[in-house]
Amino acid sequence: MKTTFAAATAIVALCATTPLSAQETGNVIFFHPDGTGVNHWLAARMHTVGPDGELNWDRLPAIGVYTGHMADRVTGTSHGGATVHAYGIKVLADSYGLNGTEPLTAASGRQMSVAQEAIEAGKAVALVQTGHIAEPGTGVFVASNESRSNTQEIAADVIESGAQVILAGGERFLLPAGIEGRHGPGEREDGVNLIERAEELGYTVVYDREELLALDTSTVDRVLGVFAHNHTFNDQERERNLIEGLPTYMEGAPTIGEMSRVALEIISRDEDGFFAVIEEEGTDNIANNMNAAGTLEALGRADAAVGEILGFMDGRDDTLLVMAADSDAGGLQVVNTDEGPVEATTRGGGILHGQQGAFGDAFETAPDANGNTHHFGIAWVGYNDVAGGILVRAAGLNSDRVEPLMDSTEVYSLMHDTLFGTPGQ
């Protein structure tokens, strides 16, 4: 008997709304490549593997169009969008684990984020971030505050959260003013040394790639990585980085892929399961500065992390990987250009920046299927985040529940249901 299109649609809708049974629960990895729309991945594909090549991101079988509007505006914010992912509720754009400044009850009916519920349930939780420790993409999963600018308060909440692995930059928010750290001076005004507090809580503290990769992940239980004074990257215009002699990413800091591999090796030992929130922040902040070459580097790092996660998941049937941004940083567009320097010009209201890339003044693609390379430039809408073409991608356990059109609140539902089964249980 043939199944009609209407019947098939009804079956898909039923599967998408039916609560998960205990047999369908497992671990969750939420990878947030902040600020990435489909055009960012197009540029990364061209630059990394060629116009018709395949990124690790392209290997994820599930795909849906993401709708990320907020309660009071059509474009997302990093802190408001992260709050939606963490709680499953449409909140005001200016929200950090709250609804504006008001208390928030999650879609599960509890006043905890999905990460806080995981910690309460005895699951291992990892917060992995290339930005500073209070960045909302990870921080909002364990901290609530009336302002994302209260970074010292948020940093303290993250350290006290119970997360088993915390990897980020932001040493400035962990040390008291007047105390010199590995990466620079502390700035805390309350005199609290959060690194010493972390050690009291049983964390092994590491400060660079070498120390992170030297950890024995088969025995270490709690790790705090402090890899930069602020972010692990320099998020300013490429010209400014060149003038100041600064690299895009700090040379001694681990990549997001290296952080992800170590974190997953540690938390996957937990018999009660695990939840990891992983964020490449450079794809957002660097693009917000219209730094095209730096954005391509950040995207390459994000895609390498996808490869690390897929390698970890190989042979496992108990883990979901779900990916989503919450906004499109800078509204990146790929434009054609002839070989040679690209002059900074305006076209159609956007700004085309010629950047000194790895292959010369103009960007050059990796070879296509015919062995040819092509030159291209990158145009921007501006310095802000826009709604853009954002996708939800997923692989592994319950990834078939990703729908063709998927709201930001449903990212939470997919994660929560996979971790706990029926919402609220």
Tell me whether residue 326 is annotated as binding.
yes
Instruction: Residue 378: name the closest of 352, 402, 358, 400 by CA.
Output: 352
Structure-token pair, residue 102:
């008001």
Q: Do the domain assignments include residue 380?
A: no
Instruction: Residue 287: name the closest of 44, 86, 99 by CA.
Output: 44
The predicted model gives 397-419 an average pLDDT of 97
Mean pLDDT, the chain, whole residue set: 90
Q: Do the domain assignments include residue 6?
A: no
In Å, the largest CA–CA distance within the chain is 76
CA angle 220, 224, 227 (to 5 degrees): 125
Q: What is the pLDDT of residue 317?
A: 95
3-state secondary structure of 353: strand
**Between 173 and 5, the higher pLDDT residue:** 173
Tell me whether residue 34 is annotated as binding.
yes
Q: Do the domain assignments include residue 87?
A: yes
Q: Do the domain assignments include residue 79?
A: yes
Bridge pairing between strands 350-353 and 345-347: antiparallel
Contact 217, 165 (CB under 8 A): no
| Alpha carbons 336 and 230: distance in angstroms, whole number | 36
Bridge pairing between strands 391-396 and 319-323: antiparallel
pLDDT digits (tens, 9 = 90+) for 146-201: 999 999 999 999 999 999 999 999 999 999 999 999 999 999 999 999 999 999 99
Q: Do the domain assignments include residue 112?
A: yes
| Alpha carbons 343 and 31: distance in angstroms, whole number | 35
Tell me whether residue 279 is annotated as binding.
yes
Q: Do the domain assignments include residue 404?
A: yes
User: Domain holding 284: CATH number?
Assistant: 3.40.720.10
Q: Do the domain assignments include residue 14?
A: no
Q: What is the pLDDT of residue 74?
A: 94
Q: What is the pLDDT of residue 422?
A: 61
Tell me the DSSP string of 97-133. SSBTTB----TTSSSS-HHHHHHHTT-EEEEEEEEET
pTM passes above 0.75: yes
Domain extent, residue 249, equals 24-329+385-420
pLDDT digits (tens, 9 = 90+) for 325-365: 999 999 999 988 875 444 433 333 333 344 443 333 468 89
| Alpha carbons 96 and 116: distance in angstroms, whole number | 15
Q: Do the domain assignments include residue 17?
A: no
CA distances from 190 to 203, 238, 321 (A): 22, 36, 39
Alpha helices, DSSP H, located in 190-255: 194-200, 209-213, 238-244
Provide the pLDDT confidence category of residue 36 given band limits of 50, 70 and 90. Answer: very high
* Counted domains in the chain: 1
Contact 332, 18 (CB under 8 A): no
Contact 272, 419 (CB under 8 A): no
User: Is residue 21 annotated as a catalytic residue, yes or no?
Assistant: no
The predicted model gives 45-57 an average pLDDT of 96
From the list 78, 113, 327, 413, the catalytic residue is 78
